[in-house]
Amino acid sequence: MEFNGTDNNEVIPLSVPSFIGNELEYVTNAINEGWVSTAGPYVDMFEKEIAGYVGAAGAVACQNGTSGLHTALLVNGVKPGQEVIVPSLTFIAAVNPVRYAGAEPVFMDCDSSLCMDPVKLERFCSEECRLDNGCLVHLETGKIIRCLVVVHVFGNMADMESIMGIAGEYHLKVIEDATEALGTYYTSGRYKGKHAGTIGDTGVYSFNGNKIITTGGGGMLVSSDSGILGHARHLTTQAKSDTLYYTHDEVGYNYRMTNLQAALGLAQLENLEQFVRVKTDNFNYYMKRVSCIEGLELMDVRQGIRSNHWFYALYCSSKYGRTRDGLISHLKSRGIQARPVWGLVHKQKPYQGCRAYMVEEAEGYWGNVVNIPCSTGLTLQQACRVADCLVC
């Protein structure tokens, strides 16, 4: 079927949410029942539903993904003066919490999945570090590296089989930034059936407005360790040990999700599989169209996973008739929103002095990748309009 959408000048946004289910009903219930703040039945229900969906022992609902990641670092024992291994090709919210915890990031490169390269990770651990009393120590700085943050970029899955092996060998805790990957899981291999976020020690999801489901702003920490879950719940509710006398045994945070947000999230979660279907259908459509365009590639996901296909990444090679920025401005002139991948984090002002280990591949992806419209409400007609504009 061919659509002639060129006379249609409506703007096609990059990524906007869809509210097609019980959102209004649940939010209205929350207001009618008077539970709007950080306690209420929807928070408990949303936590249980997310934990059940991804197959985690439990979940702690947070204000956003960033606060969830900060909490994850703290409950995994990251202390001031230590270092944490992070990717450079990521949204900066995966890295900032390392500084909130008083630690320093050490940046790693990505592989063709856009996620952390396990080969360079292993080389860094074996050549640049030593194990000392069960602790990994960075030779150059003398600092302890306790933890690793893996980001499942654009809903693809990092190579968790390799990464978990390396983490085991070098005594690293693994935090999965699965903020973009709710709904992504392994369909084969050692982790068959395991969801992104449930393989490492702690996983974090985000429900920001541009993620696959949204609570306006929100996040969720998951783990299979009841100690981690209990500590995360404690820290995110001001570390209040006693609700009558208000005793506090450590510095906590006001990081819990509100009942209003959770009401929205519960309704969104009911449509998650439908959203994944739309994203997958549109991915397959773009793939078919892009495969006929010289020099342009729609980056595929790892074999052996079911991806949520959150974001679509086009790679503009030198054989393509446009540069990254040329393509973005061409799409903009046709009313289509597109954007380059995030600026590499190790080059951002707050992190320029930090260690970055052989970050090379990420530079190439940074210079050549374009994200194109991927909303859960994107119609075939709109996808066709986008694809038509990719042809030079």
First to last CA, the chain: 21
228-237: b (≥16 Cβ within 10 Å) or e: bbebbbbbbb
- Figure out which of the listed residues 183, 203, 219, 265 binds ligand PLP, where binding follows CB under 6 A: 219
**Residue numbers 45-84 binding ligand PLP by CB under 6 A:** 64-66
Residue 307 as a binder of ligand PLP (CB under 6 A): the answer is no
Nearer to ligand PLP, 91 or 365 (CB): 91
Determine the Cα angle at 69 with ends 66 and 71, to 5°: 110
Q: Tell me 195's DSSP state.
A: B
Binding residue count for ligand PLP, defined by CB under 6 A: 14
- Figure out which of the listed residues 15, 71, 198, 208 binds ligand PLP, where binding follows CB under 6 A: 208
Q: Indicate the helix (H) or strand (E) that contains 135.
A: strand 135-138
Residue 206 as a binder of ligand PLP (CB under 6 A): the answer is yes
Burial degree of 3 (CB within 10 A; 0-12, 13-18, 19+): middle
Stretch that binds ligand PLP, among 121-129, 174-182, 266-274, 352-360 (CB under 6 A): 174-182
Residue 202 as a binder of ligand PLP (CB under 6 A): the answer is no
Residue 88 as a binder of ligand PLP (CB under 6 A): the answer is no
Nearer to ligand PLP, 151 or 264 (CB): 151
Determine the Cα angle at 93 with ends 84 and 80, to 5°: 35
SS3 assignment, position 271: coil
Q: Are 182 and 308 in contact (CB under 8 A)?
A: yes
Q: Work out how close the CB of 3 gets to ligand PLP at its nearest, in angstroms, rounded to a whole number.
A: 31
**Residue numbers 112-141 binding ligand PLP by CB under 6 A:** none
- Figure out which of the listed residues 38, 82, 90, 375 binds ligand PLP, where binding follows CB under 6 A: 90
Residue 215 as a binder of ligand PLP (CB under 6 A): the answer is no
Which residue minimizes CB distance to ligand PLP?
Answer: 65
Angle formed by the axes of helices 380-390 and 324-333, to 10°? 130
Nearer to ligand PLP, 219 or 265 (CB): 219
Nearer to ligand PLP, 63 or 382 (CB): 63
Of the candidates 255, 176, 159, 196, the one whose C-alpha atom is nearest the C-alpha of residue 50 is 196
User: How many Å apart are CA 56 and CA 185, to the nearest integer?
Assistant: 13
Contact positions vs ligand PLP (CB under 6 A)? 64-66, 90-91, 93-94, 151, 177, 179-180, 206, 208, 219
